[in-house]
Structure 1
Amino acid sequence: MGRREAGKLERKRRIIEAARELIRETGNAGLSMRALAERAGVSLATPYNLFGSKQAIVLAVLEDIREYDAKFASLRTADPIDRIFAAGELAMRFYKNDPEFYKTLWAAVSDASGGLRALILSPQRYAFWQRLVGAAAEAGAIDKDIDVVLLVRQLDRILCGVMLDWSIGDVTSRQLQPTVFLGYALMLKAVATPAWQPGLEKRIAESQAKLLGARAKA
């Protein structure tokens, strides 16, 4: 790599890191390009020259932090229902490890007028979950009359509702995963074939116990 290309990559890295820091600190995923340039130590024109737009910078931040796919690929869980919950557990780990950043992003999801909603709730994201739920259906875990695309949308509505509550403080980080998992387990049990229902009943009981424990300590 030449010196010019190396310099360009370094400036991109600084801009992405500055964007992440500003989103955390300000609670605003919209970003001020002037503040971003100052934080990254570049000219005001540089972020536009390197990325093209503010939305492209936010997308680059999301891609830069997304070790998710690699980590999920390393999971050894073969059970298709367990893989749905394993994917959720891994996502929750990211959210709880950087709460201010992710709370800001999920708050932006509720703003239908902004372009961030489409970046976060992307077609690639839906495709990932459709593959997971589709694998469970192919394994016979889900009733054959249930449409996988519609089921994924319903599961995602559970997640988005809980994430919005978390972003405004109505759900604590301690309550986050069991709240999502209780919703998932209740929904999946309603459409699961008989052989798969005991495992989901166990997840319902575990999630309820964690939420009741968290409520008792509140």
Structure 2
Amino acid sequence: MDQAGTDLEATETPKIGRRQQGLAERRRRLVRAAGELIAERENGNFSMPELASRAGVSLATPYNLFGSKAAVLNQLFEGQVRGFNRDNAWMNGLPPTERVLGVVDRLVAAYAKEPTFYRNLVKALYALGTAETAQFASPVGALLVQPLIEGLSSDGLLPANVPKGVLATTLTRLFDATFERWALQDWHTDRLQRELRAGFAMVFYGLFDDVAQARLAEAMKAATPQKD
């Protein structure tokens, strides 16, 4: 889960004090401990005292540094997404449909490597109260969906009048809902891929030209949800 520069750059870069370094290290330990506990538990759930004990910090530390368990889980999930999507350059020059379906395929490929961990992460979120769950912000929107939309827009592949914020929110909610079903109902990972491909293809179908629409229609037909 996880530069060397010129003398001028070194002078302009503020040094992190020991206190800040200590706080950052304790945050990393807490996030790492959360990942370990989620991986070990059948339902992914753990208490804040268990988290503090595993990280070797006082009980107050997780609350002081994160404020809530949801914030710890959010940091953990964001780190995972950043880890398997370090660069969006793979989309450069691809046809629009291959970008849309490629985002889905890359996500699913990452989750397929550690399905139990990601299922447990969702279960841990569902064990929280409503107020805490509301604090969780899916990192998929900012780290994957928005770069997809920005790239399509800057390359002139989306109509200029399409509200990008609404499009990003729709795709993120579609992903989150499908991901939750996969985790809570123990779908096969290939079903997650089929349904996400179908959903993303349907959202973009009316936004692309005829050639792209034909490709998306094929994807929707091939990705028609089936019973496992």
Residue 135 to residue 106, structure 1, CA distance change in 2 (3 Å): same
Distance in 1, Cα, partners of 2:201 & 2:112: 21
Count of residue pairs brought into register by the alignment: 209
| TM-score, reference length from structure 1 | 0.72
Structure 2 portions without partners, runs of 5+ = 1-15
Q: How do residues 67-146 of structure 1 correspond to structure 2 at under 5 angstroms?
A: 67-70=83-86, 72-75=87-90, 77-79=92-94, 80-106=96-122, 108=125, 113-121=130-138, 125-126=141-142, 129-146=145-162
1:173 paired residue among 189, 192, 199: 189
Q: How do residues 155-166 of structure 1 correspond to structure 2 at under 5 angstroms?
A: 155-166=171-182
Larger deviation, residues 166-175 vs 135-144: 135-144
Aligned match of 1:37: 52
CA distances 1:34-73 after superposition (whole Å, capped 9, x unpaired): 1112223443344345545434433332343331441x33
Structure 1 portions without partners, runs of 5+ = none
Higher relative contact order, chain-length normalized (CA < 8 Å, sep 6+)? 2
Q: Offset of 1:180 from its aligned partner?
A: 0.4
Residue 14 to residue 26, structure 1, CA distance change in 2 (3 Å): farther
CA RMSD, 1 decimal: 3.6
| TM-score, reference length from structure 2 | 0.69
Q: Offset of 1:175 from its aligned partner?
A: 0.8
| 2:30–2:55 Cα contact (<8 Å) kept | yes
* Identical positions, percent: 27
Q: Counterpart of 2:104 in structure 1: which amino acid?
A: G
Q: Offset of 1:5 from its aligned partner?
A: 7.8
1:58 paired residue among 51, 68, 73: 73
Specify which structure has the higher proportion of helix.
1
